[in-house]
Amino acid sequence: MNKNFIIVILGLALFFTSCAKKSETTTTHEGAVSTMQQSTINTIIDDLVKKHGEAQRNRIERCVNQTAILWQETDGDKDVFHEFCMNNFVGNAEDLDKLFNSISMHYETLIGHFNKIALDMRRPVHLEGYEVTPIDELFAGYDPFANIQKDFYNNKIAFCITLNFPHYTLAEKEEMGEKWTEKEWAYARVGDMFVERLPADLLQKYSEILANADNYISNYNIFMGYVVDDEGKTNFPQDLKLISHWNLRDELKSHYDNPQSINKMRIIYEVMQRIIKQEIPEAVINSNKYTWNPKSNKVYENGKEVSLAMEPNTRYEHLLNCFKANVELDKYRHDNYIDTKFSNEFEMPQANVEKIFKEYISSPVVKEVAEIIKKRLGRDLEPFDIWYDGFKARSSINQEELSKKTSALYPTPLALEKDIPNILVKLGFNRSKAAEIASRIVVEGSKGAGHAWGAEMKGEKAHLRTRIGANGMDYKGYNIAIHELGHNVEQTISLYDVPFWFLRGVPNTAFTEAWAFAFQHNDLNLLGIKSNDPNKEALDVLDKFWGTYEIMGVSLVDQEVWKWMYNNPKCNAEELKNAVIKIATDIWNEYYAPVFGVKDSPILAIYSHMIDNPLYLSAYPIGHIIEFQLSEYIKDKNLGEEMIRICKLGRLIPDVWMKKAVGSPVSSATFTEAAKKAVQKLNNN
């Protein structure tokens, strides 16, 4: 489960923000204040109504007011503002449509090429085959999107847009959106573009901070062949290098098919705790120079114990840098970053998301599922069993055999790329559509765990960057790659098949995660491995249910950490580290300890997304809920055909999209109810 990288390109995400609030004045980056008076605004409104008719009053009032909020002294005095409004407001539908088409054409060109620039400049940092130099890292931190807002305010393109396309709040979209036409939705998305004036220098600085954090995470590998137990034995292959957290987690999950591997799982858990607590010797990160016992935290060189410095809170320095950059940006937003992320990007208020998550992880059925897991394991649960993988069909299949199969199929990125049409046909796409979609996706070898990066204009390709070792793609890499392919297919359909460019994409990152999960859950079927287990459907439900239970806790930690930082804005990295550990432990003790019978575990804080992708984690559990609703709806239908139909809806708000897609709003109720039925079925067998 890796990030859908394109959606979180900083400049683009911030560029399309929403939910503006009306105010009399606006503070600018240079300290100037807009002095546009309401009397001036009212005069302009009256003059425009006289020119274009009373029928246009509502749009005129909204558009003039939202433009006045953004207009600053440097843009011109009240006479300049008056003249601009009189000359640039479009008063008839035909001319407004022409304006919309022109904006769409130019924006696709602009954003599409900027996206390609950002993609290409990160090649040395992201892809195998490059030796990363300091200048490469600087280029990777460059954000080509950073100056768009500033430039378009300066040349008044932004004001032409705000003067003609009303911005609607999330509440208004919820109220009216179901009745809007596709074009009305596209117009509304144009109206979402300019609601804040964020300084380009701060955006560029934030982009560099995120790039530094991403580089830190992308190179955070543990050489497991040099990790030893209390007896000094290595338990893993000599050449096994695992990135945190993704590969560590997936390696742990892979051992549920072998009860004798419990020691390996406990070792990985110890490694994770050392990373969270910053008790890991810095010299063992991305290095095989020393052997290391994570339980005792002793390090050896040539069999002799040596003393090494611990990592100096680097993990939390990166998180703190992300927070501080957002605090600076908050001065020019209408809300803080938490509200901006949830209400504007996810278009689901944070309080609502938190409520859904807490209701889910508090459900009595969680303990019932845990009891089934205990019986299947034949032991008490341990904290790392939040990643229990024994419900999946692959749990009974030897991991090495799966890797032999995947490495033979996909020895290189090109081999996977050539097989995408066949994969899509197996998922229900007709051969013609499968070939069309596959022709718009390129596969590249990744240094990190991998990610999907979509195109932003027609004619460009989506990029699937995935990790393939010297001996080919192992099963863990294949599983992740199929997940990322789901992103790429969604990105491609929702760019090429939507009616308007401004409707490209899905409501938020959770929805693209839903499609990625739908692909990932079919990974064994794609390999031709079928299960004849009569309990397969019930097991699949519990697998998804337990995985969602795990990631919801992780997401709540992420949310609470950001709340804590806003309440403690002057904290240092040491204080932040202690707060993260306490928050993770408290959430564990409240929602997980009663289920596991183990208190005080910080394991929910291990996810790397928390460090290099601020507040992204909630996209996963929301995505699981949406994916379950989608899968329930399409389980007796063709996945390929339904994916095309649904992705063509474009970027509506979540509940409207879901109602049009499956007939009901976003809800976890069907998930918990299905889990109850699955538990009953297994208990009755």
- For residues 268 and 252, what is the distance between their CA atoms, to the nearest angstrom? 7
Q: Residue 248: which H helix or E strand, with range?
A: helix 246-253
- Which amino acid is located at 217 in the chain? I
Q: What are the strands of the beta sheet with 291-293, ordered from one edge?
A: 291-293, 298-301, 304-306
Report whether 476 contacts 251 (CB < 8 A): yes
How would you classify the pairing of strands 462-466 and 441-445? Answer: parallel
- Read off the tokens for 420: 């995408």
What is d(CA 27, CA 83) in angstroms, rounded to the nearest whole number? 23
| CA dist list (Å): 668 to 207, 223, 363, 543 | 35, 39, 11, 15
SS3 304: strand
The token pair at 53 is 């008719």
In the numeric block, which tokens belong to residue 514? 């839903």
Q: Can you tell me the distance from the alpha carbon of 284 to that of 249, in angstroms, rounded to the nearest whole number?
A: 18
User: Closest by alpha carbon to 157, among 147, 144, 171, 172?
Assistant: 147
Tokens of 215: 């580089």
> Phi and psi at residue 122, in whole multiples of 5°?
-95, 0
Global pTM reads 0.79
Phi and psi based region of residue 450 (left: phi greater than 0; alpha: psi -120 to 50; beta: remaining): left
Give the model's pLDDT for residue 314: 98
Beta bridge partners of 462: 441
Residue 505: closest CA among 10, 2, 1, 12: 12
Q: Check residue 215 and give its pLDDT.
A: 94
The whole-number pLDDT of residue 36 equals: 79
User: What pLDDT is attached to residue 179?
Assistant: 96
Instruction: Find out whether the peptide bond into 245 is cis, omega within 30 degrees of 0.
Output: yes
Let me know: does 429 contact 296? Beta carbons within 8 Å.
no
DSSP codes joined into one string, 315-334: HHHHHHHHHHHHHHHHTTSS
pLDDT at residue 479, as a whole number: 92
Backbone phi and psi for residue 420, each to the nearest 5 degrees, phi listed first = -55, -40
Both structure tokens of 551: 């990631």
Half-sphere exposure of 502 (CA within 13 A, CB side): 22
Q: Is 630 helix (H, G, I), strand (E, B) or coil?
A: helix
Strand partners, 304: 301
Task: Kindly list the domain boundaries of the chain, sorted by start residue.
Answer: 217-315, 399-526
User: Which residue, among 93, 44, 111, has the nearest Cα to 501 in the 3D structure?
Assistant: 111
Q: Between 1.20.1070, 1.10.10, 3.30.70, 3.40.390, what CATH number should domain 399-526 receive?
A: 3.40.390
Residue type, 84: F
CA distance 299 to 294: 9
Distance of alpha carbon 335 from alpha carbon 341, whole angstroms: 10
pLDDT given for residue 2 in this prediction: 38
Distance (Å, rounded) from C-alpha 161 to C-alpha 158? 5
Residue 373 near residue 389 (C-beta atoms within 8 A): no
What averages of pLDDT result for each successive group of 10 residues across the chain (685 residues)?
A: 37 39 34 67 97 96 94 93 98 97 97 93 89 90 82 95 95 93 97 88 92 95 97 95 96 91 97 98 97 98 95 98 97 90 90 94 97 96 97 72 94 97 97 98 90 94 92 93 96 97 91 89 90 86 96 98 98 98 98 98 97 94 89 89 96 94 90 96 89
